[in-house]
Each structure stands twice: as C-alpha cells, then as structure tokens.
Structure 1
Amino acid sequence: MRSALALVAVSLFLAPSVASFAQVPAPTPVDYLAETPTRAPHAMVVSIHHDATDAGVEILHQGGNAVDAAVAVGFALAVVYPAAGNIGGGGFMLIRPSSARGIGKDAALKHGSPVFLDYREEAPAAASANMYLDAQGNIIPQASITGPHASGVPGTVAGLAYAEAHFGRLTLAKVMAPAIRLARDGYVLSAEEAANLQSPNLTQFPASHRIFQRDGNFYKAGETFKQPELANTLTQIAADPTSFYHGKLAAQIAAFEAANQGLITAKDLAHYEVKERTPLVGSYHGLEVLTSPPPSSGGIALIEILNILSGYNLPKIGPDRSPDQVHYITEAFRRAYMDRTDYLGDPDFNTLPLAEMAQPYYADAWRKTIDPLKPTSSADLVRPAGYLPDPTTILHPQKEDNETTHFSIVDADGNAVSNTYTLNFGFGSGVTVDPLGFLLNDEMDDFTSKPNTPNAFGLIQSAANAIAPGHRPLSCMSPTIISDPPITDLYGPIAKPGSTPTPTRPGKLRLVLGSPGGSTIMTTVANDLISVVDNGLNIQSAADAPRFHHQYLPDVLQFEKAFSIPAVEAMKARGYTTRRAAEFDEKSQGVWGDSELIAVDPTTGELLGGQDHRHHFGKAAGY
C-alpha cells in the first residue's frame, strides 16, 4: 500500500449546482439514512439521465467494457442533458483496470495501471491575459461567460474518441449508436427538463433559441425533443472523429467562429490533443485513493483533506453530519482550499508542489493548528512553515460555475470508470454552432481575469491559472476511485534484500465517486467518501445526504437547505459564519452537486448504485 501520495509523473470547478434554469418546488424532506441503493450482481451504470444510463447498459450487454459504456454515456448525455452533457466542452476520465491484464487495446493499460485522460478545453491562440478587461482595467461584464468570446477549444470529442480507440473493446460507431438514435428519434422530456430548456442563456442566440426553445414555443413535459442537426454531426463523428479537429467539421466550426467574432480557428482545433496523465494516489484508513491530477485542483485537495482527517476517529467524535464532525471536517476543508488558492494551475506550464502538499507530516502540522472547540478565522490562518515553498505571486481570482455532470461505471470484469465533464455555466456560452447543433462551452471564465478581484463565489488563486494560448484552466472536477491496496507478490524476485515488493495486481474495488458543483466538488466527494468509509452509510444515503462546504475564502460555512437547522445553529454558536443555500427563496431546493456513485458490497461483491435524488431524471441501472 502506498501510504500517502505516489506521484510517478506530473504531466471545473463549477459553482453550486442549484436549480439554475427554472425554479422547481422544494422536495418533501426525506430521511436520507433510510434510502436504499440500486443493486446489480455484475455491472452498473449511474448517471444524471435515465436515457444515458440505458445507453451505457445497452453497450455493456453488447460485450463492451466500462470504457465502451462510458463513451456511450458521454455522447448520450450530449443529447439528453444539453445543460452540461456535451461535445462542445471538455473534462476528465479516470480509468482503473480490475487486473494486471489491463483493459482494452492500449499497451499502456496492459500491465493494469490506471490512467487519467485530460480532455479539458484549451485557450485559443488569440487568447490573452487581459482579454476580458476594458480600457480602465475593469472586467467587462459577461464577456467570459456568454457569447462567442467565452469558449475554449472543445476537448470532449477527442477525449471520448481517444478513450474508445485505446481502451474500449468495440467500435466508436457501435458505442455512439444510442446517442445518434436519441438525437434523431428524440427523447421524452420531463417537467424539470422542459423547464430547464427555457434558460435565458439560450434565448439570446438565434440557433439556440430555435433548436432548444422552438423560437419561443417552449417545449412541455411529455413532448419528444428531436435534434436532427446534432444527429447528423454525431453520425459524422462516429464515422471519422478526426474530422472534428482536422476535417469537414473543423472547417465548419472555424467558419462559424469567424462569422460570429469567435476566437477558435482551424489551427486551434488542429492543435488540440488529449493528454494521458498519471493519477494521484493517496490513502485513507488503509484504502487506496485514486484521484485526479492537475489541471484538476480537486484530487490534491481531496488527498490533503483526507490526510488531515486521518488523524481523527470521526465516528467517535460524533455521528454523520453532527456538529462535532462538521467542525473537524470544515477545518480540514479550510486548510486544503488555502493551499489550492496559492499553488495550483496548468501542470504543463507550472511547477506544482504536489508531493509536498500530500505528505502525511504536512497534514500532521496542519492538524496541530485546529482548535477542537472553535473555528480558525481564515484571515488568521497561517500555513505551517518549512513544508511548502512560498507562494510565488499575488492572488488571482478563479471563476467556475455549475453545469458539469458526472457518471460512474463498473463492468462485469470489475473495470471502473469515473468521468466528469462540463460546459461550465448552464448551456455553456449559450452559443450553438449552426448548423452542427451543439453548444459551445464558456470555459475561458475558468481562467484568471483580473488580479485581486474575487468572483461571485469568492474564489481566488495564483497567477499559475492566468489566460495564455494553449493553456488549460484549473478545474475542481475530481473523478475518484477507492480500492483496497494493491496486492503484492511476496515471493517473487526482489531486486535487493528488504526492498518493497512490487504490486502485481490492483486491490478490490470499493467506491467510484464524483460530482459536479464547482468549488463544492471536492467537499462533496469528501462528504460522500467520509459518509461511507467512516460513518457506514450506504451509497444511496451518501448521495442524498445534505451537504456542507467551506472554501477558505469567503470565510463562510455553507449548508444545503435540507441540512438540520439545529446543527447549523450549533455551528453558528461555535463562531462560524453560516449560510444556508437559497435560504430566503421558498421555491428553490437550495442544493448543489449531483453525486452519481457506485459501491461494491465487501461481503457479496454485489454492485450498489447511488443516483443523486436532487434531480429527478437520473438512473442507476445494471445487470
């Protein structure tokens, strides 16, 4: 077992996912501890949309592995969940083979090592550090969020096609068939989905208004939504995915951008490539934590949080979501987010102190600064000296928002995929590439726009995330997989007496985790993991449990509306500044994130799916 962080190589954050497009009535409170997971003996797919989940299960039944199913789900969500599912955005895929034989066609996984695919968007060549500032140096409202200047070069098509080509068993055409069918024949809208399509972000752009809103004759619950232009685009991608970056589709995208004052050119598209990165590896209570490296900030922050908390017996301190537990967990959040603020950015252009951040003795030093009775003011928080280099630059803001989506998959062989991808804000930039039928991201907003100017969520960070051509913006997306430690060959050849045995195969799979939610992604993943590993909740209860969040700045402890009011008041009495999500909006659910989780029953080996009930059209299913 690797006791802290194993870094072999270092090669979205998106804001709280509240009901951002249409107000829907707050759900009747449920006892999350009484929730039960979906069970399947062999394979499991969990996503935010039932049609996308069904697409993944269909591919598994056809002999596909977890990666084949993931590619099918990813393209299907581009059709049925246009707020975040996409071919015009980007994301991260974490793949964990179940054995030393590896998975799929690529030799990189033949020895059973996990891989992290970075298909995050890139800044176009025309991007510049001050592109969203006016002549006086002030941020131009909405410039990095809405419209043609907001988009980075999309990575989703390249990422999903790369995953299929290297790690799948089937063909791209076969795994894309469900998505093409859903776009061509349509899918039936629920009331929640129909209301979401009324987003004003779509109304202001003619193609988006036409496709998603029927020019103002808004779709209603029970109607079938067809997207023939998107079906045609997906068909072309299935036949030749390189055309999106080098061929006919690339030419159409570049022509559309030029005609609409966009930044993305044919050269930008041709320059884009998927990057294989080595996942970060930590440990928590004897379990291996496989998680996301930069340009994700979430993985290293999660490892820091868990390292700090590993020194406490949380169940002895109090039950799940109790004030005493919330206190210690919040103080771990605060310290990890301080380090995230100062040190993280694109690893291809910055040297990041990841190994130092993940050391257990650094967590020990942080732990000594936590008062057991009261909070540490963020303004007074001092990093333990001698463990990390001094932050090199002044602080810069980080902007990320809410429309990301996550899905988790385990196949019958035990191979696992944890995938998070995004458009950034709901429906991205709002711009649909006409006549190709897909929405473009607004990921340029994830870069720093102006020093010392916190965004709407108060997040700040270093100049390592400055806008520059070819750079990838920092993200909080944190696909994560938890397992038993690798199994080692105690009797095989060892190079030197007393040396550590070489792991020969992965340990047993335990959890597949991830969520959208912007700055809350890392805390959501941590909450889910702690609820299962420390507090013994089943995976469905963990997905539905009310969430809490602290991100160092602003110095506010945030709670979902469903969180126990006495517990919130208890935290306020301890000295925390507290805030309940959408507290004064009676129609808002006051929620964030969307956990789509899988656990493995340690006794029976049965797969347990937890589909987040904050949305009402998701599904956990398997066979």
Structure 2
Amino acid sequence: MVRRITVALLLFLVTFPSVAGAQGQAILSYLDRFHPVLAANGMVATQEALASEVGRQILRDGGNAVDAAVAVGFALAVTLPRAGNLGGGGFMMIHHAGTGETVALDYREMAPAAATRDLFLDAEGEVDEKRSRFSHQSAGIPGTVAGMAAVLERYGTMSLAQVMTPAIRLAAEGILVSQDLSDSLKQSAERLQQFPAAAKVFFKADGRPYEPGDRLIQSDLAHSLSLIAEQGPEAFYGGEVARLITAEMERHGGLITPADLRAYKAVFRDPVRGTYRGYEIASMPPPSSGGVHLVQMLNILEGYPIGELGSNSALTIHLMAEAMRLAYADRSKYLGDPDYSDVPVAGLISKTYAESLRETIDSFRARPSEEVLPGNPLPYESNETTHYSVMDRAGNLVSNTYTINFSYGSGIMVEGTGILLNNEMDDFSAKPGIPNAYGLLGGEANAIEPGKRPLSSMTPTLVFRDGLPWLATGSPGGSRIITTTLQVLLNVIDHEMNIAEATAAPRVHHQWWPDELRVEPGLSPDTMALLRARGHDVVVKPTMGSTQSIMVTEDGITGASDPRRPGALTIGY
C-alpha cells in the first residue's frame, strides 16, 4: 500500500508541479532520490558523483564495462580518499557477455613475508590494537594496482593510460571539496594530522580543514598515477612508487619489502555459485566470506515463504536474523584464505546442509548465540569500503568492492606518493577467539601467515535470470556487508521491489557475536516489540551500507545509489 501511495504521489507531483507548490516540489525532490535511474545503453553506479561521471564518459568513448570499472577504481582514489585507493585491495566480479564467462578477481592484500602469527600480541599475550590498526605494520601488501591492471588486460578494450587519464587530471587539477568529503576529513582529522604527509595533503598549510567548495589538489598522487599509467603496475611494484613505499617502511618499522611488492599477484578465481527461487547467484569466493555466507543464508531462507510473510515483518526479520546467526557462527571457524586453509565451500553452500540448519530454527524464539556453535558442513563436502557496479550496452557486467579498511585506512600516507596505506592486517585473527575492529570472531583458518590474504566480508555479487545478467550489487560496511547484500536480493526477488525501493528499505543485521539484532532507525516500534518478545536484543544503531546496484528490467537498465551516503550517483548514457 505504501509503495502504491508513493507512486501515486510521485505521478501527481510530476503531472501537476504548479499545483504541488513549494512543499510538493520538496517532496518530489526527495522522492526522486529513491526513484530508479533508467538508461538505454549502459550504467554506472558509484558512491561518488565525479567517479560515476568518469565511468560514463569511458562508456561513451566506446569502452566496455571493464574499461569503465578500472577508470572508476582509479578515480575514486582521488575523489573518495577514505575508501577509494591505490594502497588497498578488493574483489571484483566480472561477467563477459561475449563468452558468457563469469569470473571472480581476488586482489586482496597479502601479509608480508616478515609477518608472524603473534605479530600484534604484546608482552602479556594480548592484542595491541594500536599496532594492528594504526602502525606501519598494519599494512598488507596492496593489490589494487595489480588487480585493475590484470582485469583490464584480460577483459578491457582500452589501454591503462587511457582509462587512468581522468584520475590523473582530477588529482593534478584538483577537485571541488564536497560537503561529504569535508565532513569525513574533519571526522578523521585527529588521526590524519598525526602523519605529516597526510596532514600536508588533506589540510591547509595552517592546519585548517578544507571546506565545501575549496579545491583539493593532490600533486603527489597525480605523479604516482602518471607513473603507473606510463609504466604499468611495474611502477608500483618495482619502480619509483615501490621504492618510496619500502623507504617509508624502513623509516617506521614497517614490514613490506621490495621482495614483497615484486611477489604480489592478483588471482582470478571461480565464483561461489548458488540458486535462490530459480535465480542464479554468482558471488565472491574465499578469502572473502561474502559469497559463501550469502548463498548459505539464501539456502536457509528458501525454505520459508518470505514474500508472503512481508517485507520487514517481525517474522521475516526473525528468520533472517536466525539465518544470519548460523552463518556467522560458521564464518568464525571455517573461513580463511583457500591457498592456506581447506575451506569447506561446497559443504557450507549445500542445500542439504541448509536444511539441517533450518531445522534448528524456532519460528517463535530467538536462539541465544551461546547455544549456537559452528555447524558441521564437512559431510557434504565433495568494516570503510566502497562498492560500484557497471554495465555496458553489450551486457558486460562488473561488480567491484575495494577498501583500505578503516576510513582513510591507517591514516598513514607514503611520503611523496599521495598514497594512503591500508590497515588490513587487522582483518586477520590476531588472536583466535578475540574479535577484530568489527566485532567479528575468527579462528585458526584466518591466523596471520606470510603471504596469506586476510578474510573479508566484501560481497560483490551478480545475479542471473534465465541465464542472462539481471542484477549487480554490493556494499561497504565491514561485517554488515554480507547481510546488506542479502537484503537487497530478498527485496527484489521475494518482495518484488524495484531496485530503488530495495535499496532504501530499512536494514537489520545479526553476526552471532555480539548477540544483538541491530536495526536501522525507522523500523516500526511494533515490529521491534514483537522481535523483543521473541527474545531478540534489538538495538537501534546508525544506518548500514551504501549499495550501488544495476538491474535489468523489461523497461531497460535501471540502477540506484544508496541514499544513506551523500554524494553517490547512478548515471546512465
């Protein structure tokens, strides 16, 4: 009913703008943010408007979705420095329309050779959180440059120099500081100003923050980007940029060496695949936990009439929370880098295993997390981030999530490069059984080892209907990434929402420990009361995620950027 009223009101305001008046125009402007963007040929959805414009221009210039995705990845390093990056890593899902191939690209950071299991433990054997999060030792070997170059070489049509030109120009000529960028710099000022190189770039000479409308020029970053565009990834992993990174490490007790940089490799992997009510799901495999647990939760929920139960009804949320609880319990034990641990993927995504988990769910009672232990899938075995999605006229589709972990990573900038360092080493289990910065528990499978990639929750996902690309989505949000992506899929498949409605709907999250059901503001008080009556510890916390989605409909390609984060833009051409 609410959806019908919204559509009717929107149609009235569009049809009779003069009748609507100023208040109606304000409502129309508000509703327009949630209306899906429609395009005939292709689409780009990112968390930052300038980067979206870069991607669209690449498509207009004849590039394909991969060309545009790589251009966006480099542009975000300039325009969204708290998450876009050269000094981090991530995961990309690619569907190539010409061959029908769907692949996953793993360009997650790797632990340096000098990393040890007890790297972040103090003399008492406890985790030193400052060292694991805000020191040079917290940086893993970056993978973004290698990943972008690898996917462009395999699936792109343009040169690296062509797709990097917009990012170089934005860094060299400067960008106008948005309200969002200004706010984020002020929020991170205390940390960033501890490090001279970062303070010099992100704050004025007198230490004052940049205000909206000021021009931010990043000359060192422009130089680094130019070197990569001219020399390829060798500039980053063996050339001038590499020398500056390793010099920074030597000055401050960091671990990354020239040999570490030269040894880094991005890896193409087979996606995690599943089905949900006839739709085909392709998502990121380990060392991401996203695809495994997305499919696992969908398998559990497939046994319930979610669509009939209603969007965000108490029973729907209860069942989602119980499925989430079970999946995150398994995550704590089984997930890690598949090159180092035997991750039982087939068992975890088995429909038979999901049936056994479903039998443990009580529709009327929340099961305390202390009663829930990781399951036994083996018999069936044969936290700032940014996401963007791109589709071109040929049907090529990209879903990409990458990060430097915290907002602005560790806050440490490599002198002379304009490159912020990640603090992804905190995503390892510094001490098995002790939660990381996002409250996630990890086990032996995610212990620190040289060359290993830390476990992640990033969940870039592609969905196919009748064998054809139908949806690309994903989100930032640390431990909430998987559940955010899950709810977008449930909203469009079970609740038959358009992609904008699916994006704007209130979200919930449960991750086993802490034993709480996190909900966004706006959920009905009556629903929360019913959930508490079932035994859930319902906690209202800030909004979760920033999905950037593209969906194919009978009317054409639609897309939506999440209204939870300012400055995002979905744009077609």
Q: Distance in 2 between matches of 1:45 and 1:33?
A: 18
Residue 393 of structure 2 aligns with which residue?
412
Tell me the amino acid that sits aligned with residue 208 of structure 1: A
Residue 408 of structure 2 aligns with which residue?
427
Q: Distance in 2 between matches of 1:46 and 1:580?
A: 28
| Match for residue 491 of structure 2 among 518, 531, 540 | 531
Residue 160 of structure 1 aligns with which residue?
148
Residue 252 of structure 1 aligns with which residue?
244
Deviations 1:232-279 (A, max 9, x none): 110110011212112222122111211222111111000101111011
2:164 maps to 1:176: yes
Q: Distance in 2 between matches of 1:455 and 1:565?
A: 31
Report the Cα offset of residue 141 of structure 1: 3.2
Residue 536 of structure 2 aligns with which residue?
576
Tell me the amino acid that sits aligned with residue 47 of structure 1: T
SS at match of 1:482: strand
Residue 275 of structure 2 aligns with which residue?
283
Q: Distance in 1 between matches of 2:280 and 2:559?
A: 20
SS at match of 1:409: strand
SS at match of 1:598: strand
Q: Distance in 1 between matches of 2:432 and 2:159?
A: 47
Deviations 1:69-100 (A, max 9, x none): 000000000000000000000000110122xx
Residue 114 of structure 2 aligns with which residue?
126
Residue 49 of structure 2 aligns with which residue?
50
CA contact (8 A) 1:68 1:175 kept: yes
2:463 maps to 1:482: yes
Residue 270 of structure 1 aligns with which residue?
262
Aligned pair in 2 of structure 1 residues 207, 517: CA closer, same or farther (>3 Å)? same
Tell me the amino acid that sits aligned with residue 228 of structure 2: I
Q: Distance in 1 between matches of 2:438 and 2:182?
A: 28
Matches within 5 A, 1:456-605: 456-485=437-466, 507-581=467-541, 590-601=542-553, 603-604=554-555
Report the Cα offset of residue 454 of structure 1: 2.5
Residue 220 of structure 2 aligns with which residue?
229
Aligned pair in 2 of structure 1 residues 556, 51: CA closer, same or farther (>3 Å)? same
2:42 maps to 1:90: no
Residue 298 of structure 1 aligns with which residue?
290
* TM-score, reference length from structure 1: 0.84
Q: Distance in 2 between matches of 1:335 and 1:73?
A: 36
2:316 maps to 1:325: yes
Q: Distance in 1 between matches of 2:495 and 2:144?
A: 36
Residue 4 of structure 1 aligns with which residue?
none
CA contact (8 A) 2:220 2:417 kept: yes
Aligned pair in 2 of structure 1 residues 440, 114: CA closer, same or farther (>3 Å)? same
SS at match of 2:273: strand
Tell me the amino acid that sits aligned with residue 257 of structure 2: T
Report the Cα offset of residue 563 of structure 1: 2.5
SS at match of 2:338: coil
CA contact (8 A) 2:438 2:478 kept: no
CA contact (8 A) 2:426 2:436 kept: no
Residue 344 of structure 2 aligns with which residue?
353
Q: Give structure 2 stretches of 5+ with no counterpart.
A: 1-26
Tell me the amino acid that sits aligned with residue 559 of structure 1: V
Tell me the amino acid that sits aligned with residue 324 of structure 1: L
Residue 620 of structure 1 aligns with which residue?
570
Matches within 5 A, 1:43-82: 43-82=42-81
Residue 370 of structure 1 aligns with which residue?
361
Q: Distance in 2 between matches of 1:267 and 1:301?
A: 35
CA contact (8 A) 1:121 1:472 kept: yes
Tell me the amino acid that sits aligned with residue 68 of structure 2: A
* TM-score, reference length from structure 2: 0.92
Aligned pair in 2 of structure 1 residues 152, 455: CA closer, same or farther (>3 Å)? closer
SS at match of 1:469: coil
SS at match of 2:275: strand
Greater CA drift, 342-351 or 256-265:
256-265
Deviations 1:374-393 (A, max 9, x none): 111221235666x4369xxx
Q: Distance in 2 between matches of 1:139 and 1:462?
A: 15
Matches within 5 A, 1:387-406: 387-388=377-378, 401=383, 403-406=384-387
Aligned pair in 2 of structure 1 residues 43, 34: CA closer, same or farther (>3 Å)? closer
Q: Kindly indicate which of the two structures has a greater share of residues assigned to helix.
A: 2
Aligned pair in 2 of structure 1 residues 33, 44: CA closer, same or farther (>3 Å)? closer
2:196 maps to 1:206: yes
Aligned pair in 2 of structure 1 residues 383, 238: CA closer, same or farther (>3 Å)? closer
Deviations 1:413-458 (A, max 9, x none): 0110000000001100111111011101000100111233233543
Q: Distance in 2 between matches of 1:124 and 1:381?
A: 35
Tell me the amino acid that sits aligned with residue 508 of structure 2: F
Q: Distance in 1 between matches of 2:120 and 2:31?
A: 44
CA contact (8 A) 1:523 1:549 kept: yes
Report the Cα offset of residue 312 of structure 1: 1.2
2:371 maps to 1:380: yes
Report the Cα offset of residue 328 of structure 1: 1.1
Q: Distance in 2 between matches of 1:384 and 1:85?
A: 36
Q: Give structure 1 stretches of 5+ with no counterpart.
A: 1-27, 103-111, 391-400, 486-506, 582-589
SS at match of 1:96: strand
Q: Distance in 1 between matches of 2:176 and 2:285?
A: 38
Q: Distance in 2 between matches of 1:382 and 1:201?
A: 38
Report the Cα offset of residue 524 of structure 1: 0.2
Bigger relative contact order, structure 1 or 2 (CA pairs below 8 A, ≥6 apart): 1
Tell me the amino acid that sits aligned with residue 552 of structure 2: V
CA contact (8 A) 2:329 2:373 kept: no
Report the Cα offset of residue 479 of structure 1: 0.4
CA contact (8 A) 1:32 1:541 kept: no
Residue 303 of structure 2 aligns with which residue?
311
SS at match of 2:53: helix
Q: Distance in 1 between matches of 2:52 and 2:259?
A: 35
Report the Cα offset of residue 214 of structure 1: 2.0
Tell me the amino acid that sits aligned with residue 149 of structure 1: Q
Aligned pair in 2 of structure 1 residues 619, 275: CA closer, same or farther (>3 Å)? same
The alignment covers a number of residue pairs equal to 541
Q: Distance in 2 between matches of 1:565 and 1:213?
A: 43
Q: CA RMSD in A?
A: 1.8
Q: Distance in 1 between matches of 2:87 and 2:407?
A: 13
SS at match of 2:404: strand
Q: Distance in 1 between matches of 2:153 and 2:291?
A: 26
Aligned pair in 2 of structure 1 residues 113, 168: CA closer, same or farther (>3 Å)? same
CA contact (8 A) 2:503 2:560 kept: yes
Residue 19 of structure 1 aligns with which residue?
none
2:128 maps to 1:140: yes
Report the Cα offset of residue 622 of structure 1: 1.1
CA contact (8 A) 1:34 1:541 kept: no
Q: Distance in 2 between matches of 1:364 and 1:48?
A: 37
Q: Percent identity?
A: 44
